[in-house]
C-alpha cells in the first residue's frame, strides 16, 4: 500500500512524499523547496528515488536540482516541458506509465494552467496527484492554456472513480469555497463541505485529500452543467465550455 506524506511548504504549497513499502522506493511530487523534503526523508528513513513534476512553475520544481544533487534521484516530467523542467531525466506524456516499485502511475495530459501540465494517477492506490489543474472546490488559473483546454482536462479527471483521493498542490480550499458559495449558494453539500473546511483550518489542519466524488458534488468548475449555477450567473442557454470560461473569469475577479 502506498504511503503518502503531506509536507507543507512556502505559504500554501503541499509537497507529497510517496513511499512504496514493498520495494522501498520513494518519490516526491512537486518539490518547491528542499529542506522540508530532506527533513521528512530523514525522519522516515526513506531514500529518494524520483521527483514527479506536474508542471514547470518555480513553486513546483524549485528544489529539483538540489534534491537530485543530494540524493541522486531521477526527475520525471512532461515531454512538452523538457526545456522548462530543471534536471529532467524521464520525459512522459499522456497514457505513459511511471512505476514506483511495483506501483503504476498513469500520466494524463491536462493542459490549461500551463500547456505542458500533467497529472499522475494510481488506480491501485486510488490517488490522483494533480498539481495546479484541479483544486478542492476550484481549478488552476489559465496562465498558458485556453478555457476550452482546461475544460477538456477537467473532463478527464471527472471520469476517474468517485473514490479517487485528490491530492492537489495548494491549500486553497477555504478561498475557493467562498467563491463557490457565491455561484452555488443553494448547494447543501457545498455548505457542509465549507463548514468542515473552516473547522480544519481553524485547527491548522490540511483540507486535503478531497475525493472526485466530493468535487463532483461541490466544485463549480466541475458543475458548468448545473441549472442553478447557470441561472446564478445569467448563462442558462450557453455551452458548458462558455459557462466554465465565465466561472473562471468571475473567480479571477473575485475578492
CA diameter of the chain: 57
Please give the positions annotated as active site. Answer: 55, 57, 59-60, 113, 132, 170
Q: What is the pLDDT of residue 184?
A: 97
Question: Which whole number is the average pLDDT over 148-167?
Answer: 98
Going by pLDDT thresholds of 50, 70 and 90, the confidence category of residue 1 is confident
**How many other C-beta atoms lie within 10 A of the C-beta of residue 162?**
13
For residue 132, say whether it is annotated as part of any ligand binding site.
yes
Q: What does the pLDDT read at residue 138?
A: 98
- Whether 56 has a binding-site annotation, put simply, is no
In CATH, 3-253 is 3.40.50.150:
no
**Residue 173 CA neighbour count, 13 Å, CB half:** 30
Per-residue pLDDT at 164: 98
| pLDDT tens-digit readout, 96-131 | 999 999 999 999 999 999 999 999 999 999 999 999
**pLDDT, mean over the chain:** 97
The reported pLDDT for the residue numbered 165 is: 98
pLDDT > 90? residue 136: yes
For residue 246, give the C-alpha cell.
Answer: 465565465
Q: Determine the pLDDT at residue 221.
A: 98
Whether the pLDDT of residue 230 is over 90: the answer is: yes
pTM check: above 0.95 = yes
Residue 225 is labelled as binding a ligand:
no
| Partners of 211 in beta bridges | 165
Residue 172's pLDDT is 97
- Looking at residue 255, its pLDDT comes to 79
Is 59 annotated among the ligand-binding residues?
yes
What is the C-alpha end-to-end distance of the chain, expressed in Å? 42
Give φ, ψ of 143 to 5 degrees: -75, -35
Q: What are the pLDDT digits (tens) for 55-103?
A: 999 999 999 999 999 999 999 999 999 999 999 999 999 999 999 999 9
- In this predicted structure, what is the pLDDT of residue 102? 92
Q: Does 186 belong to an annotated binding site?
A: no
- Percent of the chain whose predicted confidence (pLDDT) is above 70: 100
Per DSSP, 217 falls in state H
Domain ranges of the chain: 3-253
pLDDT of residue 91: 98
Residue 55 marked as a ligand binder: yes
State mean pLDDT over 200-213. 97
Amino acid at each position: 500500500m502506498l504511503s503518502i506524506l503531506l509536507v507543507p511548504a512556502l505559504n500554501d504549497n503541499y509537497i507529497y512524499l510517496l513511499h512504496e513499502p514493498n520495494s522501498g522506493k520513494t518519490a516526491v511530487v512537486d518539490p518547491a523547496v528542499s529542506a522540508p523534503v530532506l527533513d521528512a526523508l530523514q525522519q522516515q528513513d526513506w531514500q529518494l528515488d524520483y521527483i514527479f513534476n506536474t508542471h514547470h512553475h518555480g513553486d513546483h520544481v524549485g528544489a529539483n536540482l538540489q534534491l537530485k544533487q543530494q540524493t541522486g534521484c531521477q526527475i520525471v516530467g512532461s515531454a512538452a516541458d523538457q526545456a522548462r523542467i530543471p534536471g529532467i531525466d524521464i520525459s512522459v506524456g499522456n497514457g505513459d506509465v511511471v512505476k514506483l516499485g511495483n506501483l503504476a502511475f498513469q500520466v494524463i495530459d491536462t493542459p490549461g494552467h500551463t500547456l505542458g501540465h500533467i497529472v499522475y494517477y494510481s488506480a491501485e492506490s486510488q490517488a490522483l496527484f494533480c498539481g495546479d489543474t484541479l483544486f478542492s472546490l476550484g481549478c488552476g488559473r489559465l496562465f498558458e492554456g485556453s478555457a476550452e483546454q482546461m475544460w477538456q482536462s477537467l473532463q478527464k479527471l471527472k471520469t476517474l472513480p468517485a473514490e479517487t483521493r485528490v491530492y492537489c498542490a495548494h491549500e486553497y480550499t477555504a478561498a475557493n469555497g467562498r467563491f463557490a458559495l457565491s455561484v452555488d449558494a443553494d448547494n447543501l453539500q457545498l455548505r457542509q463541505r465549507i463548514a468542515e473546511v473552516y473547522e480544519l483550518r481553524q485547527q491548522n489542519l490540511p483540507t486535503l485529500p478531497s475525493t472526485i466524488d466530493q468535487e463532483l458534488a461541490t466544485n463549480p468548475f466541475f458543475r458548468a452543467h448545473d441549472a442553478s449555477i447557470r441561472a446564478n450567473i445569467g448563462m442558462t442557454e450557453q455551452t458548458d465550455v462558455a459557462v466554465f470560461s465565465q466561472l473562471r473569469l468571475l473567480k479571477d475577479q473575485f475578492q
